[in-house]
A and B are shown apart, each in its own frame.
Chain A
Amino acid sequence: MLEIKQLHKSYPIGDSSLHVLKGIDLSVKEGELVAIMGSSGSGKSTLLNIIGMLDEADEGSYVLDGVPIKNLNEKKAAVYRNKFLGFIFQSFNLINYKNAVENVSLPLYYQGLGRKERQEKALFHLGKVGLKDWAKHLPNELSGGQKQRVAIARALAAEPKLLLADEPTGALDTKTSYEIMDFIQELNDEGKTILIVTHEEDIANMCKRVVRLKDGVIMEDKFVNQVRAAQYV
């Protein structure tokens, strides 16, 4: 599914440069639920951005679902992002003047789908996150948990190969966080491959595999006994 070999990335700071990723090797199979952990500055967000094609590596190879990801121009990157990836952000990143169903159907618009089809699919995915009745509501009329569920529905709408979640519970209280994790676990049960960046141990323990980053290298990569979030809900 995902093959990363000897990935390097540095950012220029004045005259010198900051070496953020120092040779990352990571392989993720289909159906995995991986937590990427690390303190701030460990390079976990940079790694996620490269996986998400929002940023490009300096060195190393990255193959996603058999497609080598390199030398992408803006347009190709946009098409790949749309086809392969679904994003879930800490701050939800919903478009505030669009209602729930319009937000969910946005990636479908960029796929070039017809209006009716978009509407149907978007409603279906909203139904999956349990927000069908909230379809016409604007983001500011929704609670944090509901917003994140809309964002998840939006990430799912394009039926991506890989879901990338950047601190998905970072802006939520514990109870709501567990609800969201419960939902992510359910998605994973259905076979979705999901990568979660987090710095919270309890969230990481709800995944099946934990990758710990420190100073740009992988310190630890182990499979864990998954804690089901359902018991806390």
Chain B
Amino acid sequence: MFDLDLWREIFQSISKNKLRSLLSGFTVSFAILLFTLLFGIANGLENTFNGFFKDDAQNSIFIRPGKTTKPHKGFKAGRKIQFKNEDYEYLKNDFGNKVQYITSRVYKNFMASYKNEKNTYSIRAVHPDHQYLEKTLVYEGRYISAKDLEEESKVVVIGRLVEEDLFMKTVALGKYINLGGIQYKVVGVYRDDGGDNEERMIYMPISTAQKIYGNNDYVDQINMTYNPAMSYNEALSFSKLLTKKLKERFDVAPKDQSAVRVRNMAEASKNVNQMTTVLSVLIIIIGMGTLIAGIVGIANIMIFVVKERTKELGIRKALGATPKSIVTMIMLESVLVTSLAGYFGLLVGMGLLELIGDSLKEYFITNPSVSTNLIVGATIILIIAGAIAGYVPAKRAASIKPIVALRDE
């Protein structure tokens, strides 16, 4: 039920008693401002930590060969382990659905040139699955395909910055670049959230690189992602199993740590996630504390407000105001002031976050902001808080006897 007259009374009471309204509003605004800033900064910290893993899929496992450090089965220490295509096939086929995506990598470095522009770039010769592992976002053309591998096509997918450097802001797609004397057709251009270095890479089919540069089937590294349905513990035991199997495969001593290195991102990301969680809980506690302080503040001010209005309320009662109408009036006024002031604090807080957000990057705070859910939640908390803060003193005000209220000082 909307009672226009009641709202008129309330608006008049608020606007004619500016200092009082301002005082009560300020407390709430300030509490909500701090609350918003804290949450924004917490989110910013979380964004930073998540950003560390943006580049790669979080369920990645990297497998690199090294040199043996212990003699085993008649082999001397110091033997170099070399992965080959058959190892890729073995990992791909022998572990069933535990492997989600898998790719080999061959690393090269070449002087790349187009017309008069030239520069040295890292080349990664890969399988098509590599796109998902690195979260490569192809925005023009396509990625390396299975057909490219089969036909050993001389095609490349270049990073955004490679296109910028070599093609001077003209379209690279469909043009040919020269890598160490051989012409490759650009079939795709990609972006990568992992930073500038990731966008200064050139991808080509692994079969092409193996054929042209050495005519062998050597592989420098094998990357995979495990099935995301696996739990953290399952993922860890999976990478242990991989290590064991590969060591057997290459006749490496079980205790040899450097011949086959299997790195599971789950371990790293779990530590960081734990830290972020602790941080978030801490900030939620501080934020809630601020909010509670604000509520206590507004309750105090409401008690003061009712005290100040005792005479007015006594007059109203003498003129026929029922206790209910007094309670309603004070409570609605309190709710209105808290909501408006809280909303104001929220807007200022969000504005501040927007304003200073970018300059906080060096303090590990990326893109600090608050979510819509939080805004709605905070608003509801405010309205409830305003109602509670208003109710107790309003109830007391309603029970004041008019003669007491009207007694001359």
Given A93-B315, A97-B17, A115-B5, do A110 and B321 touch, yes or no (CB 8 Å)?
Answer: yes
In angstroms, Cα B16 to Cα A55, docked, is 31
In angstroms, Cα B9 to Cα A35, docked, is 36
**Binary CB contact string for chain B from 371 to 409 against chain A (1 if under 8 A, 0 otherwise):** 000000000000000000000000000110111001010
**Contact status B319-A107, CB under 8 Å:** yes
Chain B contacts with A in 310-342, Cβ cutoff 8 A: 311-312, 314-325
Give the distance to chain B from A43, nearest Cβ to Cβ, in Å. Answer: 14
**Binary CB contact string for chain A from 21 to 49 against chain B (1 if under 8 A, 0 otherwise):** 00000000000000000000000000001
- Kindly list chain A residues whose C-beta atoms are within 8 Å of the C-beta of B325: 110
- Kindly list chain A residues whose C-beta atoms are within 8 Å of the C-beta of B314: 93
**Binary CB contact string for chain B from 242 to 279 against chain A (1 if under 8 A, 0 otherwise):** 00000000000000000000000000000000000000
Residue of B at shortest CB range from A83? B320
**Binary CB contact string for chain B from 1 to 22 against chain A (1 if under 8 A, 0 otherwise):** 0001100110011001100000
Given A93-B315, A109-B9, do A79 and B408 touch, yes or no (CB 8 Å)?
Answer: no
In angstroms, Cα B324 to Cα A95, docked, is 20
Interface SS of chain B: helix, strand, loop or mixed? helix
Point out the residue from A54, A78, A87, A106 that lies within 8 Å of B401, measured CB to CB: A54
**Contact status A54-B318, CB under 8 Å:** yes
In angstroms, Cα B319 to Cα A49, docked, is 14
- Kindly list chain B residues whose C-beta atoms are within 8 Å of the C-beta of A109: 5, 9
> What is the interface size of chain A, counting residues whose CB is below 8 A from a CB of the partner?
29
**Contact status B12-A97, CB under 8 Å:** yes
Point out the residue from A91, A102, A111, A115 that lies within 8 Å of B320, measured CB to CB: A111
**Contact status A81-B401, CB under 8 Å:** no
Point out the residue from B4, B17, B319, B398 that lies within 8 Å of A110, measured CB to CB: B319
Given A79-B320, A110-B325, do A49 and B403 touch, yes or no (CB 8 Å)?
Answer: yes
**Contact status A89-B403, CB under 8 Å:** no
Residue of B at shortest CB range from A80? B320
- Kindly list chain B residues whose C-beta atoms are within 8 Å of the C-beta of A176: none
Chain A contacts with B in 107-139, Cβ cutoff 8 A: 107, 109-111, 115
Residue of B at shortest CB range from A102? B12
- Kindly list chain B residues whose C-beta atoms are within 8 Å of the C-beta of A229: none
- Kindly list chain A residues whose C-beta atoms are within 8 Å of the C-beta of B318: 52, 54, 81, 87, 93
**Contact status B319-A106, CB under 8 Å:** yes
Whether a CB of chain B sits under 8 angstroms from the CB of A222 is no
**Contact status A78-B320, CB under 8 Å:** yes
In angstroms, Cα B360 to Cα A18, docked, is 72
Given A91-B408, A93-B311, A109-B9, do A79 and B401 touch, yes or no (CB 8 Å)?
Answer: no
Give the distance to chain B from A69, nearest Cβ to Cβ, in Å. Answer: 15
**Contact status B408-A55, CB under 8 Å:** no
Residue of B at shortest CB range from A155? B319
Residue of A at shortest CB range from B312? A95
Given A90-B408, A109-B9, do A78 and B322 touch, yes or no (CB 8 Å)?
Answer: yes
Whether a CB of chain B sits under 8 angstroms from the CB of A158 is yes
Whether a CB of chain B sits under 8 angstroms from the CB of A220 is no
Given A93-B311, A97-B17, A110-B325, do A81 and B319 touch, yes or no (CB 8 Å)?
Answer: yes
Residue of A at shortest CB range from B4? A115
Given A93-B315, A110-B325, do A81 and B403 touch, yes or no (CB 8 Å)?
Answer: no
- Kindly list chain A residues whose C-beta atoms are within 8 Å of the C-beta of B317: 78, 81
In angstroms, Cα B12 to Cα A93, docked, is 18
Given A49-B403, A89-B406, do A106 and B322 touch, yes or no (CB 8 Å)?
Answer: no
In angstroms, Cα B312 to Cα A174, docked, is 28
**Contact status A82-B12, CB under 8 Å:** no
Contacts from A to B (Cβ < 8 Å)? 49, 52, 54-55, 74-75, 78-79, 81-83, 87, 89-91, 93-95, 97-98, 102, 106-107, 109-111, 115, 154, 158
A-B residue pairs in contact (CB < 8 Å), sample of 30: A49-B403, A54-B401, A54-B403, A54-B406, A55-B401, A55-B403, A74-B322, A74-B398, A74-B399, A78-B317, A79-B320, A79-B322, A81-B319, A82-B319, A83-B320, A87-B319, A90-B408, A93-B311, A95-B312, A95-B315, A95-B316, A97-B13, A97-B16, A102-B12, A106-B319, A109-B5, A109-B9, A110-B316, A110-B319, A110-B321
Contacts from B to A (Cβ < 8 Å)? 4-5, 8-9, 12-13, 16-17, 311-312, 314-325, 398-399, 401-403, 406, 408
User: Which 9 pairs across A and B sit closest by C-beta, in order of nearness?
Assistant: A82-B320, A97-B16, A110-B320, A107-B319, A78-B322, A54-B403, A74-B323, A54-B402, A75-B322
